[in-house]
């Protein structure tokens, strides 16, 4: 029983960790921000309105938690056991299975469903990659990167060991933005040898002052794991890069 209680506590902590870490990252802004002014107290609401607001808040909590599982292929019939596991753990009810005992099976299940999602993404986005390949001026490098120079730079090119400052904007195959230095309010500073493979190759092809559009298959980006809530497994990505400076 003690082991089961520990498993329940671990399961609950894991669920809330996922939930609140996602909520903290939702804005895409750095964690350190200036404190906001206290909100003006709102007008009193009746009991029915209060209940509805609570339900909407709880629904939003559930949707935030689900976003962290967006890289796992789930079907309608999978919802009931997931809901039952959350309910029993959060309400301190007896668990139907011991999470410690089935832990390896859970990981195997997640890996299998993630691989399914990755395969579907690659098939669904093949035309996106092909369209980028066929753009006038685009070329496919030896490493598999699709590179299109927009503005030729006049400065030096980064080395594998260089640190660089750049502006960047990344989109998914559906055109939605997932990463933007302008949205963060500052340029990015990166070590060339620590970025994703397609950036690593592209930056060494650029010169200071240059701008390029690059298209990365998932193998050159975030692979078959993706980034929970942001990039699906197997997803290709497209970036606009502007190399501002090679740092000392």
pLDDT-derived band at 91, boundaries 50, 70, 90:
very high
User: Of 139 and 27, which is predicted with more confidence?
Assistant: 139
Does pLDDT of 82 surpass 80?
Answer: yes
pLDDT per position as a tens digit, 30-78: 323 333 445 555 556 688 888 998 999 988 888 888 877 778 888 899 8
Instruction: Give the sign of the dihedral formed by CA 210, CA 213, CA 219, CA 222.
Output: positive
Q: Pairing relation of β-strands 139-140 and 146-151?
A: antiparallel
- pLDDT of 95 reads 92
List the domain boundaries for the chain: 2-23+50-101, 126-247
Residue 101 reports pLDDT greater than 70: yes
Residue burial 150-185, b: 16+ Cβ < 10 Å; e: rest: eeebeeeebeeebebbbbbbbbbbeeeeebebeeee
The pLDDT, as a whole number, for residue 188 is 95
Strand partners, 241: 168, 212
How many residues are given for the chain? 248
What's the pTM? 0.73
Mean pLDDT (whole number) for 207-226: 96
The verdict on domain 126-247 having CATH code 3.10.50.40 is yes
Asked whether residue 180 carries a pLDDT value surpassing 90, the answer given is yes
Q: What is the per-residue pLDDT for 123? A: 97
CA pair distance 206, 221, nearest whole angstrom: 18
Angle at alpha carbon of residue 167, lines to 164 and 173, rounded to 5°: 115
Residue for token pair 């120079």: 149
In this prediction, residue 45 carries a pLDDT of: 66
Helix (H, G, I), strand (E, B) or coil at 132: helix
Please, what is the end-to-end C-alpha distance for the chain in angstroms? 59
Average pLDDT over residues 71-93: 89
How high does pLDDT run on average in the chain?
A: 84
Q: How does pLDDT run across 3-39, given as a tens digit for each residue? A: 444 444 444 444 444 444 433 333 333 323 333 445 5
**In whole angstroms, how far apart are CA 14 and each of 18, 24, 170?**
6, 15, 30
State the pLDDT at residue 13.
Answer: 44
What pLDDT, on a 0 to 100 scale, did the predictor assign at position 40? 56
**What residues does 151 pair with on adjacent strands?**
211
Cβ neighbours around 57 below 10 Å, total:
10
Most confident of 95-104, 120-129, 177-186: 120-129
178's CB contacts (< 8 A; 6+ apart) are 170, 171, 172, 230, 231, 237
Angle between helices 47-67 and 2-25 (to 10 degrees): 90
> What distances in angstroms separate CA 71 from CA 46, 120, 215, 237, one per listed residue?
40, 11, 21, 15
């Amino acid at each position: 029983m003690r082991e089961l209680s520990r498993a329940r506590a671990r399961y609950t902590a894991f669920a809330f960790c996922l939930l609140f870490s996602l909520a903290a990252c939702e804005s895409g802004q750095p964690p350190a921000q200036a404190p906001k002014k206290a909100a003006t107290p709102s007008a009193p609401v009746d009991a029915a309105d209060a209940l509805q607001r609570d339900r909407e808040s709880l629904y939003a909590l559930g949707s935030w938690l689900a976003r962290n599982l967006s890289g796992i292929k789930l079907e309608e019939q999978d919802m009931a056991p997931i809901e039952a596991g959350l309910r029993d753990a959060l309400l301190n009810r007896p668990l139907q299975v011991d999470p410690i005992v089935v832990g390896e099976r859970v990981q195997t299940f997640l890996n299998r469903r993630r691989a399914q999602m990755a395969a579907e993404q690659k098939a669904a986005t093949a035309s996106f990659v092909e369209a980028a390949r066929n753009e006038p001026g685009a070329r496919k490098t030896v490493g598999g990167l699709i590179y299109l120079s927009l503005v030729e730079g006049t400065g030096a090119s980064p080395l594998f060991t260089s640190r660089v400052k750049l502006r960047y904007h990344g989109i998914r195959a559906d055109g939605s933005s997932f990463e933007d230095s302008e949205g963060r309010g500052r340029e990015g500073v990166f070590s060339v040898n620590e970025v994703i493979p397609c950036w690593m190759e592209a930056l060494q092809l650029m010169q200071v002052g240059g701008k390029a559009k690059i298209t990365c298959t998932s193998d050159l980006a975030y692979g078959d794991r993706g980034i929970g809530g942001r990039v699906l497994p197997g997803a290709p990505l497209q970036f606009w890069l502007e190399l501002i400076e090679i740092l000392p």
